[in-house]
């Protein structure tokens, strides 16, 4: 069952890691969210998610985080390789499904959207 999990090593966990990405990263702005990408010395990409309280109640904020995490887990090819990535959600975020989130990130990064993505170990 662990084969399809997103390991904690693939997530940004500490505020210093977020600050480093915000300070040195390149910003890609989409409708309702922003990707901040910074090259990393790790051989894999790591994800951080920032959702402010103004976005809505805790249920909505947690759903947004789940959608973004699952999109990252299943579609790593859409995200820059060997980078630390922060998805900063703004209150006007309106994407309600994984396919919408995947399409928005594909447009933003300029990567072709793949429907038959395979999970990476």
CB 12 within 8 A of CB 46: yes
Give me the numbers of helices (H) and strands (E) for the chain, helices first please: 3, 4
3-state helix, strand, coil in the chain (%, to 5): 40, 20, 35
In a domain, 51, yes or no: yes
pLDDT tens-digit readout, 67-118: 999 999 999 999 999 999 999 999 999 988 999 999 999 999 887 765 444 4
Instruction: Look at the chain and report how many structural domains it folds into.
Output: 1
Full domain range(s) for residue 47: 15-85
In a domain, 54, yes or no: yes
In a domain, 38, yes or no: yes
pLDDT at 66 over 80: yes
| CATH code of residue 30 | 3.30.230.10
Say what the pLDDT of residue 116 is: 44
In a domain, 113, yes or no: no
In a domain, 71, yes or no: yes
pTM here?
Answer: 0.85
Closest by CA to 45, choosing from 78, 2, 94, is 78
């Amino acid at each position: 069952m662990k084969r399809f999990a997103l390991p904690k090593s693939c997530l940004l966990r500490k505020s210093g890691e977020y600050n480093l990405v915000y300070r040195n990263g390149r910003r890609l702005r989409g409708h309702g969210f922003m990707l901040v990408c910074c090259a990393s010395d790790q051989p894999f990409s790591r994800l951080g998610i920032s959702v402010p309280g103004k976005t809505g109640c805790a249920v909505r904020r947690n759903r947004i985080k789940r959608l973004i995490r699952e999109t990252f887990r299943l579609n790593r090819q859409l995200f820059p390789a060997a980078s630390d990535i922060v998805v900063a959600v703004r209150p006007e975020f309106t994407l309600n499904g994984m396919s919408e989130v995947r399409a928005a990130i594909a447009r933003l990064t300029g990567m072709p959207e793949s429907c038959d993505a395979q999970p990476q170990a």
